[in-house]
Chains A and B, each alone.
Chain A
């Protein structure tokens, strides 16, 4: 039903709202991807935004320098991001805990610097004008393309989560040694997941580049990673619906709170602290808690009380 609503929504919205939704589709893809590697497989990578930027720059450079059509460029952007994430995965996924985060953070920092300093061909901070995906100036076709990419990505990730691969990666998250002892090829499945979400991030980043019409090193800044993490934690870290709820919420709030400048990041930080402290499952966890509690209030009121049972 939700998909049906989203399909007819462009008929009722203005171009500003459509623009927000198109960008939100991008964030849903990257947030779900990061949730898959961090929330489900326990790999706390801080380079996910970099794969999106890499996909964007690959597609933009191919279009500008070689005249590659944007649609093909988007696919190549996804492949490039996937290949890079595979290499990074092979190098870094053996690291544990904070070391993986540091290594991926270093990679993302190097990438941003590289893009800025190689300005002869990336145009650095001047921005790289990117040919639009479509000739039409209307946002409606972009909306449906973004929606389709998002839907396919999310469905594939859903299938993975609910397959034996999903069991493997959850086992890796919960206890990697135990998973290895149970003959789970942990390196293979961690790398597979890392590469797959890298592909989706690259596709999403390339689509955004051809929609906005410009690639800039700002997309590779660490701020982008913070926003992705925010979306997942607020929505529900480690839950499938979490990033799907968190991404639109944070995106809309970012837009609405823009007038307050950097104070909005302080507000978000406070929100994350509250959510992490009191509602660890995020909004999804809160919803589950409310439905369980109110459900039990209706059915068995006496079960809410402390029960003293005499034991013989």
Chain B
């Protein structure tokens, strides 16, 4: 009987591996060809080139990507408005968006790219203070103006960097404002639950710092919780035992809503009212998450449909609604306002050169979405290049209410 021994080379490529290799090579070749044509297009004539403005915001975790989407929308709407009204210096505005992912190192990379590769004349959109603190150094190095959208740490302006401008509310502004309301309403035992982020920690710091000066008659209790907590019942029970007459919710996103629902579940609310430190009750999905447990909530906002906005603000509000089917929130409006300020700075400077824009920003007066007197004073300390936005305290009293239905409680 003949025995056969079959020998096959052990290192031969299998059929599937060969197919995979061919696919990868084809994709690489196509990618390379497309990349070549994309990278080496002949640049258009100077006058026809759009003016690029960078929008650097969180669009992926661990950043607050939900807010980032609104920031992006606000920028696009503002650019659309400007371009439909003749652009600026006979040129259109082009928005270049980059994701900082809520991470300082990624923000620095993105800022480097926006400035050195995309050639933006200014940057806006910053939301996370820790990212902004890193990005502003890059802008300072390259002499490119940075207009902060919603990062509220005092250190951002306290550093006194020339090229950083902030038309937004800072933690101390917010604290001063709510201490006024607390005094007016006669609250005496104020509890606050704050997350361990730049937002919550900043509010805690100024609450404690200014209590004796602004609200000497109140007692204050502050508890810090981890960001993205899934259960704050222990902390709320501790607060309940303390018998507050007001609870300030200084958390964001899902944690902010969790505080609302769990405070109701343990019987803290509705007897003890909640004040949201920002306008999270207006975010999509709020009523779906909290239902009737959120009725009666107070919150700090910056915008109301009945407010007199500037002409620009009114137009933006209309365009935003037409485009997205919902009213704009502050993040979108403030970003749009920043794009509009940059446009005015370019006009006042007569140039799209970043240095010229910077000079115009430090000396000029501008119109934004809600006010016509925006200036960036060169005051020492935390108010360097800072414009204080007006604030309002609202209340929502029924499930499903939107900003249009919110009652204005306090305007300071």
* Contacts from A to B (Cβ < 8 Å): 14-16, 19-20, 23, 113, 116-117, 119, 123-127, 129, 137, 208, 212-214, 216, 218-219, 221, 223, 255, 258-259, 261-262, 274, 278-279, 286, 289-290, 292-293, 296, 303-304, 306-311
User: B1 → chain A, closest Cβ, in Å?
Assistant: 10
* Chain B neighbourhood of A127, CB < 8 A: 104, 129-130, 133-134, 198
Contact with A along B1-28 (1 / 0, CB 8 A): 0111111110111001100110000000
* Chain A neighbourhood of B16, CB < 8 A: 278
Query: Closest residue to A215 on the B side, CB-wise?
Result: B104
16 additional A-B pairs beyond A279-B20, A289-B13, beta carbons within 8 Å, are: A15-B112, A16-B116, A124-B198, A124-B201, A126-B153, A126-B155, A214-B134, A216-B130, A218-B62, A223-B62, A274-B20, A286-B21, A296-B11, A307-B7, A308-B4, A311-B4
A125-B109 contact given A218-B62, A259-B99, CB 8 Å threshold: no
- Judged by a CB distance under 8 angstroms, whether B313 is at the interface is no
User: A236 → chain B, closest Cβ, in Å?
Assistant: 16
Complex Cα–Cα for A124 and B347 (A): 41
* Chain A neighbourhood of B279, CB < 8 A: none
Task: Pick from A113, A126, A212, A258: contact of B98, CB below 8 A.
Answer: A258
- Judged by a CB distance under 8 angstroms, whether B59 is at the interface is yes
- Judged by a CB distance under 8 angstroms, whether B263 is at the interface is no
Q: B155 contacts A129, CB within 8 Å?
A: yes
Q: A113 contacts B61, CB within 8 Å?
A: no
User: B411 → chain A, closest Cβ, in Å?
Assistant: 30
List 20 A-B pairs, Cβ < 8 Å.
Answer: A16-B112, A16-B113, A19-B109, A113-B226, A116-B226, A116-B227, A117-B226, A129-B155, A208-B105, A212-B134, A216-B103, A216-B104, A223-B62, A255-B113, A258-B98, A261-B59, A261-B65, A306-B8, A309-B5, A311-B2
Complex Cα–Cα for A223 and B106 (A): 13
- Judged by a CB distance under 8 angstroms, whether B214 is at the interface is no
Q: A310 contacts B4, CB within 8 Å?
A: yes
* Chain A neighbourhood of B2, CB < 8 A: 310-311
Q: B4 contacts A129, CB within 8 Å?
A: no
User: B166 → chain A, closest Cβ, in Å?
Assistant: 16
- Judged by a CB distance under 8 angstroms, whether B117 is at the interface is yes
Complex Cα–Cα for A208 and B62 (A): 20
For chain B, residues 110 to 147, give those with C-beta under 8 angstroms from any C-beta of chain A.
Answer: 110, 112-113, 116-117, 129-130, 133-134, 137, 141
Contact with A along B81-109 (1 / 0, CB 8 A): 00000000000000001110111111011
Q: A126 contacts B7, CB within 8 Å?
A: no
Going nearest first, the 5 A-B pairs with the smallest beta carbon separation are A127-B130, A125-B197, A261-B60, A16-B112, A126-B198
